[in-house]
Amino acid sequence: MKRVTFLLALVLTSIVTMGSYSSVNLLEGESNTTFGKYSITASDQVVVIDNVAYQTWKMKYENSSEEYCVFYAPGIDGQCCFIVRCGGEFEVQYSKDQNGFGVRMVDPEKRTMKKKEAMKSINFEKFSKQMVLTTKNKTVEEYLGLLACYMPQLLES
């Protein structure tokens, strides 16, 4: 009975979360990097952390064979974070906090790989320059566009 209740709660949370943040079904643009044009599409998959389901998007670039998974975790007082993952080889977080919106290492409770492993594929100089991309509040769509344009720079040497 507990398992059924948990599964029902999980499904309900998924539906509510996806309904709240599913306004972005397709977002396209030019990344102005060697990755080229990007497309972000809503995914039917969810990421579950601590019994909370989060909406995901698939992010692809014209000059890359990789597909990135992006999920959005809203926070309190307008804070939020977007986690970008690619297989088990890359993960990074773009967060909005009191300092602004920028790149961070993934919070420990959301991490799927060790910090040291994640840093192997990241250009640390470019990472440090992306710690504050903007101090202005943006929509989910605008934040997705920012990370789609800036994230490839982290992987370029």
As a whole number of angstroms, the distance between CA 147 and CA 29 comes to 12
Contacts of 53 (CB under 8 A, 6+ apart): 10, 13, 14, 17, 18, 46, 47
When divided into structural domains, the chain yields a total of 1
Q: Is it the case that residue 108 has pLDDT exceeding 50?
A: yes
The domain in which residue 109 lies consists of 2-155
Helix (H, G, I), strand (E, B) or coil at 106: coil
- The confidence score (pLDDT) of residue 157 equals 66
Beta strands across the sheet bearing 100-104: 26-30, 37-49, 52-61, 67-74, 80-86, 90-97, 100-104
pLDDT band at 24 (very low <50, low <70, confident <90, very high): low
Q: Is it the case that residue 9 has pLDDT exceeding 60?
A: no
pLDDT band at 23 (very low <50, low <70, confident <90, very high): low
As a whole number of angstroms, the distance between CA 118 and CA 106 comes to 9
Could you tell me what percent of the chain has a pLDDT over 90? 55
